[in-house]
Chain A
């Protein structure tokens, strides 16, 4: 089983739609969780951290479910500029190493 698993997509959605991605992780001791965004041929950039109580940043909402070991990302009112690959990230067995999922592709179309 992979340490971090994501649906690779692609998710093709119209502008204005709400879209959600899930990600599961295998290490129950993980303490840190993030969503990164990666544009084509660019480096990954931090989108948001994920906190235990859930957190929101504008149109983006992240949730953590420790019991089921998954995290989610909800994007409301999708924009064309949201088209990217979204990477789920958790800290690994050693606290200083992060483990990246393979990413979920989102395509927002007009």
Chain B
């Protein structure tokens, strides 16, 4: 079974803080993703990475950055947290494109910015 592990289930931070969300997968997947999910808006892609040190902007990258130094780890960084970044953050991984490979998600991190 694929295991995607996010470092925290719940996190509370203050406005202006630098926040790190960590994600680790154990299936040697090339592709990793960060989403946020808000009521009524569904899943929105923030950033994704298709290989070590590679990254691509998703639909809503503003206010975020990412780091992929090792294949198994994909970090999401809020450079200066703001209250509108309060959300559920979901990490996912997927094998290389082609075929009908699904994505596997971590448990999610509920982040509150005060």
Contact = CB atoms under 8 A, between A and B. Distances in A.
21 contacts: A32-B100, A32-B101, A33-B100, A41-B88, A42-B108, A43-B90, A43-B106, A43-B107, A43-B108, A44-B105, A46-B102, A46-B103, A46-B104, A87-B43, A95-B98, A97-B33, A97-B58, A98-B94, A98-B102, A100-B35, A103-B42
Contact of A34 (B50, B99, B102): B102
B84 interface: no
Interface residues of A, number: 25
Interface in A44-85: 44-46, 49, 51
Contact of A96 (B58, B97, B107): B97
Contacts of B12: none
Interface in B1-58: 30-31, 33, 35, 40-43, 45, 48, 50, 58
Contacts of B99: 32
B96 interface: yes
B43 A49 contact: no
Contact of A102 (B42, B45, B50): B42
Contact of A45 (B97, B98, B105): B105
A35 to B, nearest CB: 10
Contacts of A24: none
A81 B15 CA distance: 39
B17 to A, nearest CB: 24
Nearest to A8: B40
Interface string A25-42: 000000111101000011
Nearest to A99: B45
A73 to B, nearest CB: 15
Interface in B57-80: 58
